[in-house]
């Protein structure tokens, strides 16, 4: 057998052995058997010295070509082995890297969700409907239809997140009340729970993203007494006892007269802490009788219809319910904190 025939034989043997490699370790071992310093192909090339110049060119060129083809075949086989390895792992050892390993623990509701559902149950038992709306709103729905003037401070960029298209992230769920005023025929009672956004300076009682439940009642001869009674029923059922509250005069463009309903701080018992700014009271909800202009802006006659509206901060209600002294805990994602609920 001449050297050229021997090279053909080595090439065929090497292909068969390399293709049968079970893993990369065996592949490297098989590669070295033919292409290593002491490999079979190298041994054949050592015999070139006995050949003529023409034979050296022919056999040497063929040996280089075989060596190159085998290197390419080794690379291709290596990639196939890697792909097979990952396929096998995906079938046999699959796991979700984002999911905690070990024995799965049953999940629980976030405290805000828990209180929201409780509030919804209380209001629906009093004949209220639950309404929803988009978190990205128009300026008119968020401000204009609620009797905010063009120069009202709430419309400043220091208070509201505006988008490039002129829309904004809703600063209250009152925008849902606007949608209800246009779609429902009075009398009606609705609540509007949801997430809102404000450009706030974050501290123990303020966040840039928080949750509200706003509500509205529209009908005949609705008074502030109806509003106060509704709020007292809500709070007594949430806290399962009578809670000390106070009503202060306030100013909000969408209600007149306007009030601030404060709750005795349940974290410190009224002695003063960082949550209530050491006053013993925490502002819980703005409220009041619906402003006649709001009725007019949304197609209702204020001579025929009256009503009241309120906005309840869900995060603050959760803090009062469970004695949480910092609102930032609620959105921290800290499982040690959340597991308490």
33-68 residue pLDDT tens: 877 877 777 777 776 666 677 776 777 777 788 888
The neighbour count for residue 206, using CB atoms within 10 Å, is 14
Alpha-carbon gap, residue 316 to 285, rounded angstroms: 10
Q: What is the pLDDT of residue 49?
A: 66
Closest CA to 48 of 33, 59, 62: 59
Preceding peptide of 23 cis, ω within 30°? no
pLDDT in tens, 255-307: 999 998 888 887 787 888 877 888 888 887 889 999 999 999 999 999 999 99
Domain boundaries, the chain: 3-93, 111-339
Global pTM reads: 0.64
According to DSSP, the residues that pair with 193 across neighbouring strands are 213
Cα–Cα distance for residue pair 276/270, rounded to 1 Å: 8
pLDDT for the residue 186: 92
Residue where the block lists tokens 């043997």 = 13
Angle between helices 24-35 and 53-92 (to 10 degrees): 180
The annotated binding site for Mg(2+) is made up of 256
pLDDT at 1 over 60: no
Q: pLDDT band for position 193 (50/70/90)?
A: very high
Res. 161 pLDDT band, cuts 50 70 90: very high
Cα(334)–Cα(331) distance, integer angstroms = 8
- The DSSP secondary structure of 33-63, one letter per residue, reads HHHSTTSHHHHHHGGGGGS-HHHHHHHHHHH
Q: Is the pLDDT of residue 168 over 90?
A: yes
The predicted-structure confidence for 298-336, as pLDDT tens digits, reads as follows 999 999 999 999 998 899 889 888 888 889 999 888 888
- Strand pairing partners for 101? none
- Nearest of 177, 169, 160 to residue 196 by alpha carbon: 169
Fold of 111-339: BirA Bifunctional Protein; domain 2 (3.30.930)
pLDDT for the residue numbered 206 = 85
Binding site, by residue number, is 256
The string of pLDDT tens digits covering residues 117-128 is 999 999 999 999
């Amino acid at each position: 057998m001449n050297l050229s025939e021997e090279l053909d034989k080595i090439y065929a043997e090497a292909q068969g052995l390399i293709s049968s490699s079970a893993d990369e370790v065996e592949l490297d071992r098989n590669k070295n058997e033919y292409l290593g310093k002491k490999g079979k192909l190298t041994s054949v090339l050592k015999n070139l010295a006995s050949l003529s110049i023409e034979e050296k060119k022919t056999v040497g060129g063929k040996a280089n070509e075989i060596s190159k083809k085998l290197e390419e075949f080794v690379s291709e086989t290596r990639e196939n082995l890697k792909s097979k390895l990952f396929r096998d792992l995906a079938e046999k050892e699959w796991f979700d890297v984002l999911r905690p390993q070990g024995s799965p623990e049953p999940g629980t509701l976030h405290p805000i969700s828990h209180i929201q559902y409780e509030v919804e149950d209380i209001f629906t038992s009093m004949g209220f409907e639950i309404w929803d709306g988009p978190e990205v709103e128009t300026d008119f729905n968020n401000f204009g239809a609620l009797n905010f003037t063009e120069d009202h401070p709430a419309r400043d960029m220091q208070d509201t997140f505006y988008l490039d298209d002129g829309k904004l992230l809703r600063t209250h769920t009152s925008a849902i009340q606007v949608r209800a005023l246009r779609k429902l025929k009075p009398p009606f009672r609705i609540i509007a729970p949801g997430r809102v956004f404000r450009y706030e300076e974050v501290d123990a009682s303020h966040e840039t993203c928080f949750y509200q439940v706003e509500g509205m009642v529209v009908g005949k001869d609705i008074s502030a007494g109806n509003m106060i009674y509704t709020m007292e029923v809500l709070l007594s059922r949430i806290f399962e006892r009578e809670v000390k509250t106070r009503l202060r005069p306030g100013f909000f463009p969408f209600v007149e007269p306007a009030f601030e309903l404060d709750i005795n701080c349940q974290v410190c018992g009224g002695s003063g802490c960082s949550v209530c700014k050491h006053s013993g009271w925490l502002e819980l909800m703005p409220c009041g009788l619906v402003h006649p202009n709001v009725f007019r802006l949304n197609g209702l006659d204020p001579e025929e219809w009256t009503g009241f509206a309120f906005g309840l901060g869900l995060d603050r209600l959760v803090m009062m319910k469970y004695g949480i002294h910092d609102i930032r805990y609620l959105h921290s994602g800290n499982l040690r904190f959340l597991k308490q609920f």
